Amino acid sequence: MSQFRERYENAPYNDIDMRAANYVERREAPGWTDHDEVELEAWLSESVAHRITFIRLNSSWKRTERLIALRSPDNGPDAAPDPHKGTRYLKIAAVFGVFLGLGGFLVTYLTTPPTESYSTPVGGREILTLKDGSRIELNTDTSVRVALSGKERAVTVEKGEVYFEVHHDASRPFVVTAQGHRVVDLGTQFSLRVDKADVKVALLEGRVRFDPYAQTSTKPEVLTSGDVLVASADRVSVNKEPLRNLLASLAWRGGMLEFHNTSLAEAVAEFNRYNQTKIVLEDPRARAETINGMLPINDLAEFAHVAKNLFGLRAENHGDEIVLTR
Amino acid sequence: MDKISNFRRATAVSLPGAARGTPMSAADEWFDREVLPLEKLLMQFLERNWRNPSDLPDFRQEVYALVYEAALTEIPGNTRHFVLTTARNLLINRARHERIIPIEAAADIEELGLALDVPGPDRIVIARDELRHLQAALDRLPPRCREAVVLRRVNGLTRTEIAQQMGITEFTVTRYLSRGICMLADILHGEPSNIRRKS
């Protein structure tokens, strides 16, 4: 099989392939004229080889239409990258949009330390690369403040969910604060989610120290990879989770949601974090059913489709709500 | 409003057809709907029964041309059987022609036919992996080619815009896109098909 792969990945394509591909691509783009259509028709009727090649390429290219689900609100054609609010004191050395695949990545170099705020709208996602090489990925509806100084790198998560890849530097600790709790990096990758009063920290790799909010009586905890900590206002719990589960909960980084025996009610709640149009599911029996698999974060139609096929639910569109009923 | 139209568009079954000016003929539709999903099976069959891999893309096209031509007269009843029989006959003819000892392809047909593409209970759930599957296919394109395809497919840029963004000529963008379309066809047809939504 691998031999097969190598072969077709290096496969030379002949003129018919390339010409058919060119038609396939141009035909759905603006600027395709009736004249072009006539030309294509003529070419297709020249030989069966032309026709089957065209149909074959067109068929798979159509399938890739769904890749549009990967588009984040910030990387459309009219994208106006604006991650920095209140940047009066801040010198941005360079801001440029780089597209790397799983959404619009905005790489921002920060040069001077004052506090800087970043936020994403519902359905948004953004990646910040700090000057020290650390990466911060903001999930939907998230706000953070970042202050870098010579002594400390401080990030405050006000709401939402953030994934950190910290470039460790013992002389300049990386400290994340949420609801008064502090997470101090000891060289690591982790995610942190603020959900009302609760803070959840999941360690993918490395170690962090968790200093609970001063008024909580619990002691600091050192978390290692696989640990998931949940801190509410008055208590802290830590569990080990298989890496697989942690990765599943980070599927949003690739624009997806991943469910494992998740109740439909939870899945809907999770999905609604990402979309202005909310899904409403009242049927009590359906709420308890479980769902497995992956869904594109911002594809309401796909969700409705799953609900219909797996659970026999009907989707009614009420403008800003989609109501699922039996 | 945008959301609503989005909702409608994506739920509609997208016929991957040439249905713009002229509607697809019955043969076109049959070919698209029934033959292309068998590509993986066909390639496995050819691969197993022919020792020179570089011949295979040509064989594939030849089989396609033969079955398509037959379908212009009459749409075959059992597509899988028809495609594989055509492939076997083609190989036998070629083997004779090149004085190669023929292969025992006959038994394989039923064997392969049974093994593949039986929709299981997981089918619908698997369909949810379509996007991931497409992403994986994208990731196998060469980097620049991939970038062009992403800018086109995900970001919806025009060729001119892609050329500007990538700092290359429109001609090169066209080459990247065409090549990307060909490679994606090999990858996606070659490894379908539990992903393909039944219409």
Q: Which of B1, B2, B3, B47 to mutate to test the interface with A (most CBs of A within 10 A)?
A: B3
Q: Which of B115, B143, B158 is the last residue of a domain?
A: B115
Structure confidence at residue B6 (pLDDT)? 27
In chain A, count H helices and then E strands.
8, 18
Say which of A9, A11, A294 has its CB closest to residue B132. A294
Q: In chain A, whose CA is at the least distance from the CA of B125? A: A293
Kindly state the tokens that stand for A102: 């799983």
Number of CB pairs, chain A paired with chain B, less than 8 A apart: 198
Q: What residues 18-47 of chain A have any CB closer than 8 A to a CB of chain B?
A: 18, 21-22, 24-25, 27, 29-30, 34, 37, 41, 44
Q: Are residues B36 and B96 in the same domain?
A: yes
User: How far off is chain A from B176, nearest CA to CA, in Å?
Assistant: 10
Nearest to A71 by CA among A97, A51, A47, A91: A97
Q: Are residues B73 and B145 in the same domain?
A: no
* CB spacing of B16 vs A276 below 8 angstroms: no
Structure confidence at residue A161 (pLDDT)? 93
Kindly state the tokens that stand for A94: 């360079």
* CB spacing of B10 vs A302 below 8 angstroms: yes
**Which DSSP helix (H) or strand (E) runs through A278?**
strand A278-281
Summarised one tens digit per residue, pLDDT across range A228-263 is 999 887 788 888 888 878 888 888 887 888 887 888
The residues spanned by each domain of chain A are 2-68, 92-246, 255-325
Architecture in CATH for domain A255-325: 3-Layer(bab) Sandwich (3.55)
At A72, the pLDDT band (50, 70, 90 cuts) reads low
Kindly state the tokens that stand for A262: 């998740």
Chain B positions touching A68 (Cβ under 8 A) are 153-154, 156
Contacts 24+ apart (CB under 8 A), B52-61: B53/A3, B53/A4, B53/A7, B54/A7, B56/A7, B57/A8, B57/A11, B59/B87, B59/B90, B59/B91, B59/B94, B61/A49, B61/A52, B61/A53
Q: Are residues B103 and B148 in the same domain?
A: no
The answer to whether residue B8 is domain-embedded is: no
Mean pLDDT of B91-114: 58
Summarised one tens digit per residue, pLDDT across range A106-131 is 333 333 446 788 888 888 888 887 77
Q: Tell me what ipTM this predicted complex has.
A: 0.73
In CATH, what number is assigned to the domain containing residue B172?
1.10.10.10
Structure confidence at residue A244 (pLDDT)? 78
Q: What residues 64-123 of chain A have any CB closer than 8 A to a CB of chain B?
A: 64-71, 75-77, 99, 101-102
Q: Is A303 on the interface with B (CB under 8 A)?
A: no
* CB spacing of A7 vs B53 below 8 angstroms: yes
- Which is more confidently placed, A19 or A80? A19
Q: How far apart are CA B189 and CA B83, in angstroms?
A: 15
* CB spacing of A57 vs B139 below 8 angstroms: no
- Which is more confidently placed, A317 or B116? A317
User: How far off is chain A from B5, nearest CA to CA, in Å?
Assistant: 10
Q: In chain B, whose CA is at the least distance from the CA of A23? A: B178
* CB spacing of A4 vs B43 below 8 angstroms: yes
Kindly state the tokens that stand for B33: 């709907």
Q: Are residues B94 and B154 in the same domain?
A: no
Chain B positions touching A25 (Cβ under 8 A) are 152, 174, 177-178, 181
pLDDT tops 50 at residue B90: yes
Number of structural domains (chain B) is 2
User: How far off is chain A from B91, nearest CA to CA, in Å?
Assistant: 18
pTM score: 0.46
Summarised one tens digit per residue, pLDDT across range B107-136 is 444 554 444 444 333 333 344 467 778 888
Structure confidence at residue B98 (pLDDT)? 66
Summarised one tens digit per residue, pLDDT across range A126-177 is 888 777 778 888 998 899 988 888 788 899 999 999 999 888 887 888 999 9
Q: Are residues B98 and B133 in the same domain?
A: no
The answer to whether residue B14 is domain-embedded is: no
Q: Which letter, b or e, does each residue of A119-157 get, where b requires 16 or more Cβ atoms within 10 Å of its Cβ?
A: bbebbbbbbbbbeeebbbbbbbbbbbebebeeeebbbbb
Q: Which of B115, B141, B163 is the last residue of a domain?
A: B115
* Structural domain span for residue B142: 123-190
Q: In chain A, whose CA is at the least distance from the CA of B180? A: A21
CATH of domain A92-246: 2.60.120.1440
Q: Are residues B87 and B137 in the same domain?
A: no
The answer to whether residue B17 is domain-embedded is: no
Say which of B28, B32, B181 has its CB closest to residue A25. B181
Q: Are residues B106 and B135 in the same domain?
A: no
User: How far off is chain A from B169, nearest CA to CA, in Å?
Assistant: 16
Q: Are residues B45 and B103 in the same domain?
A: yes
Q: Are residues B92 and B148 in the same domain?
A: no
